[in-house]
Amino acid sequence: MSEAAAAADVPEFPPPRDRRCPFDPPADLVARNDLPLTKVRQWDGLEPWLITRYDEVRAVLTDRRFSADPRKPGYPEKTEAYGASVGQDRNLRTMDPPEHGEQKRMLIRDFTIKRVDEMKPAIQARVDSLIDDMLAKGPPADIVRDYAVPIPTMVICELLGVPYKDRDFFNHHTEICMSSDHSLEEATGSSQELYDYIDRLLDVKAAEPRNDLLSRLVVEQLLPGVQTRREVVEMARLILMAGHDTTANMVAMGTVALLTHPEQAEIMRGPLSKPELSTAIDELFRYVNVTHTGRRRVATEDVMVGEQLIRAGEGVIVMTNLADRDERVFPAADKLDLWRANARTLMAFGAGDHRCMGAFLSKAEMEIAFATLWRRIPSLKLAVPFEALSFREEGVVYGVRKVPVTWDT
C-alpha cells in the first residue's frame, strides 16, 4: 500500500458525536471495541494507537512502560492550546515514578476518605443553600449556572484555601484552558493568569497559614525549601483545574441523564441506602463519563497490548469512556441502570499511578448533589425540549452549556 493510501486509512480523531445520543461516545469508536487495535490521526498529524477495551485500558494505565510525560517525543498532546499551557506544567499529572510518587505523597492527606468525610457537612450546607436560592427565586433555573458550577467551585475553594469571591476569575480562566474553543494565545494567557493568581496567594498563606492545602504546601514544602515556588504553584493550579470542570459537568450531565430517564430518576428520589446511593452515583459516572478525550501516554519500550506490538516512542490514547461501555464488563453498557451490580469497577477515574486523586471527593459531591436535588425538588423537569440542549463537545471535558429546569410550585 502507498504511504498516501495508508495515511488515508487512518481515521481522524476524535470523530463527531451523534447529537441524537449525547450520552454515547461516537459509534465509530464504540465499534473499535470489537476490532484489532488501530491508529488514529489527531490534530497535529500524530498517529497514536487508540485503546478502547476495558482490559487493555487497565493494562496500559497500570504499565509503567507507558509514560505520562508530555516532553517525551511521540507523546500525543490533546490540543494545541492544551499542549502549550496545561500540558506543559510539571506536576504529578505529567510526571513518572519515582518523581510522581514524591509529589503524590505531599497531597495524599488532603484526599483521604477521612478528610472528605470532614468536608461533607460544608458540602451539604452549600448544596442546601443553592437549592434554597433556586426555590426562593422560583422556576426556571439553570442547573449549570445555579447548581453544577457552584458546588465544585466551593469545594475547591475550601480544599485549597482559595477565596470564594475570586470564583468568577478562576472559573473563567480554567474554562479557557480546558476548552479548544479558544486561541493558543488566549489559553496561554489564561494559564499565566492562574499562575500569577496562585503565586500571589502563596504570600498570603505564608503570612497567615490556615487549615487548607495551599497553606500546608507553603509551610511544609515551600518555606523549608523542599519544593520551589514554581512547583508549588503548578501543583495548586493542577488541583484548581482538575477538580472543577470535571465535577461541574458530571453534575450537569448527570442531571440531564436522570431527567431523560424518568424510571432512573424515580430510583434517585429514593429512599436509597448508603451502598445503593454509592452504586447509583458510580453508574452515573460510568454512563456519562465526561473525560472523553482519553488519557495520553507514550511507550518508553516495545510493549505488547493484546495482540498488538506498540513500539517505543509510539503514543497511545487510552479511552476510559469507551472502557466504561465495554459489553464484556458491563452488559447492556448503553443502558443507564442505577442498580448495576458492578458499577464500582468503572474506569472513569482512570487506573494505576495516575488514578484520580479526587475520586472520593468528587463522589461525595455527586452523592450529596443528586440525593439532595431529587429529595428537595422531586418534580424537577426540563424547561425546554431535550433537542434544544447544546452539548460541549470540543473541550477536554464533555459537558452541556445550559440546563433550564422547572418544577411544580
- Chain contacts with ligand HEM (rule: CB under 6 A): 68, 92-93, 104, 156, 159, 238-239, 242-243, 246-247, 250, 290-291, 295, 320, 348-350, 354, 356-358, 361-362
Listed residue (376, 164, 367, 373) closest to 256, CA to CA: 373
Q: Which is nearer to ligand HEM, 176 or 238 (CB)?
A: 238
Q: CB of residue 186 vs ligand HEM: minimum separation in angstroms?
A: 24
Give the separation between CA 147 and CA 131, rounded to whole angstroms.
8
Handedness of CA 150, 156, 161, 163 (dihedral sign): negative
Q: CB of residue 139 vs ligand HEM: minimum separation in angstroms?
A: 27
Number of H helices, E strands in the chain: 17, 12
Q: CB of residue 100 vs ligand HEM: minimum separation in angstroms?
A: 6
Length of the chain: 409
Decide: helix, strand or coil at residue 20: coil
* Sequence-distant (≥ 6) Cβ neighbours of residue 67 within 8 angstroms: 75, 96, 297, 298, 299, 300
Q: Which is nearer to ligand HEM, 267 or 357 (CB)?
A: 357
Listed residue (229, 208, 371, 357) closest to 217, CA to CA: 229
**Contact predicate 305/15, CB 8 Å:** no
Handedness of CA 299, 57, 15, 23 (dihedral sign): negative
Q: Which is nearer to ligand HEM, 85 or 247 (CB)?
A: 247
Cis before residue 271, ω within 30 degrees of 0?
yes
Bridge partners of residue 12, in order along the sequence: 41
Q: CB of residue 90 vs ligand HEM: minimum separation in angstroms?
A: 12
Q: Which is nearer to ligand HEM, 34 or 277 (CB)?
A: 277
Q: Which is nearer to ligand HEM, 127 or 159 (CB)?
A: 159
Q: CB of residue 233 vs ligand HEM: minimum separation in angstroms?
A: 15
Q: Which is nearer to ligand HEM, 37 or 356 (CB)?
A: 356
Q: CB of residue 231 vs ligand HEM: minimum separation in angstroms?
A: 14
For residue 33, what are the CA distances in angstroms to 27, 146, 306, 329, 383? 10, 38, 12, 12, 37
Angle separating helix axes 245-259 and 359-376, nearest 10 degrees: 40
Q: Which is nearer to ligand HEM, 153 or 247 (CB)?
A: 247
Q: CB of residue 92 vs ligand HEM: minimum separation in angstroms?
A: 5
Q: Which is nearer to ligand HEM, 119 or 383 (CB)?
A: 119
- Angle at CA 289, nearest 5°, toward 317 and 284? 155
Q: CB of residue 6 vs ligand HEM: minimum separation in angstroms?
A: 29
Q: CB of residue 155 vs ligand HEM: minimum separation in angstroms?
A: 7
Burial class for 105, CB neighbours closer than 10 Å (0-12, 13-18, 19+): exposed
Q: Which is nearer to ligand HEM, 148 or 176 (CB)?
A: 148
Give the separation between CA 122 and CA 126, rounded to whole angstroms.
6
Decide: helix, strand or coil at residue 296: strand
